[in-house]
Amino acid sequence: LNDENPDIELDCTNMEYTSSQGLRIFLMLQKSVNQHKGKMVMKNMKSQVKEVFDITGFSSIINIL
């Protein structure tokens, strides 16, 4: 993450749940990537997990495919 333009792709296939602490970590990671002019994407997210991201507004902050 300390290099310029870090590109991170998170495969969420096995993610069944995220807590508020997990959301906080994803937010911190996204902010760090943004500061270093990189891109982060989360893919293969299950609908019940995506719903949590939608309700909390994280879907507008983090690129979810």
The C-alpha atoms of residue 42 and residue 34 are separated, in whole angstroms, by 15
Model pTM greater than 0.75?
A: yes
Instruction: List the structure tokens of 12.
Output: 């969420």
Looking at every residue in the chain, the average pLDDT score rounds to 94
The percent of residues above 70 in pLDDT, for the chain, comes to: 97
The C-alpha atoms of residue 18 and residue 16 are separated, in whole angstroms, by 7
Instruction: List the structure tokens of 51.
Output: 């719903």
